[in-house]
């Protein structure tokens, strides 16, 4: 990794601690997918349809901007059909903020949730079955 890939560096009496931006993205992706109602992370729109990412690509559904002490996060998700999207989005915001702050010490100033699509639970199971 290049030195620019590290979003947070802290000096201690024993040396430095560096946290990569990829680590922050994975923490956010794992936290978001823990929420009931989130079908998965979205890698963007392909042919007008939201591309759902597997668990190995969680960080691709996340964008982060990190300073020395603060972070802003954009989360791109696909929701399950039938849930109340504003409620689930608020849970994502709280969970992602808490996880990043707890694990990295960064102050998360905003978590923007971008709902890229809605899917039925049966479609999620079929996709997971094909990925394995």
State pLDDT tens for residues 18-31: 788 999 999 999 99
Residue 25 tokens, joined: 């993205």
State pLDDT tens for residues 110-128: 999 999 999 986 555 555 5
Helix/strand/coil for 45: strand
With bands split at pLDDT 50, 70 and 90, how would you rate the model's confidence at 2?
very low
pTM confidence score: 0.79
Q: What is the mean pLDDT of the chain?
A: 82
Count of beta carbons in the 10 Å neighbourhood of residue 130: 8
Ordered by start, the domain boundaries in the chain are 21-131
The domain 21-131 is placed in CATH, from the list 1.10.645.10, 2.40.160.210, 3.60.15.10, 3.30.70.1350, at: 3.30.70.1350
């Amino acid at each position: 990794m290049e030195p620019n890939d590290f979003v947070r560096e802290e000096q201690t009496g024993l040396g430095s601690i560096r946290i990569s931006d990829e680590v922050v993205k994975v923490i956010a992706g794992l936290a978001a997918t823990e929420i009931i109602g989130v079908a998965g992370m979205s890698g963007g729109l392909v042919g007008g349809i939201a591309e759902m990412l597997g668990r190995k690509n969680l960080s691709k559904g996340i964008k982060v901007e990190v300073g020395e002490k603060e972070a802003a996060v954009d989360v791109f998700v696909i929701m399950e059909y039938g849930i109340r999207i504003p409620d689930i989005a608020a849970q994502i915001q709280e969970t992602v903020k808490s996880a990043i702050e707890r694990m990295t010490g960064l102050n998360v100033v905003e978590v923007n949730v971008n709902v890229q699509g809605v899917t039925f639970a049966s479609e999620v199971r079929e996709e997971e079955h094909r990925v394995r």
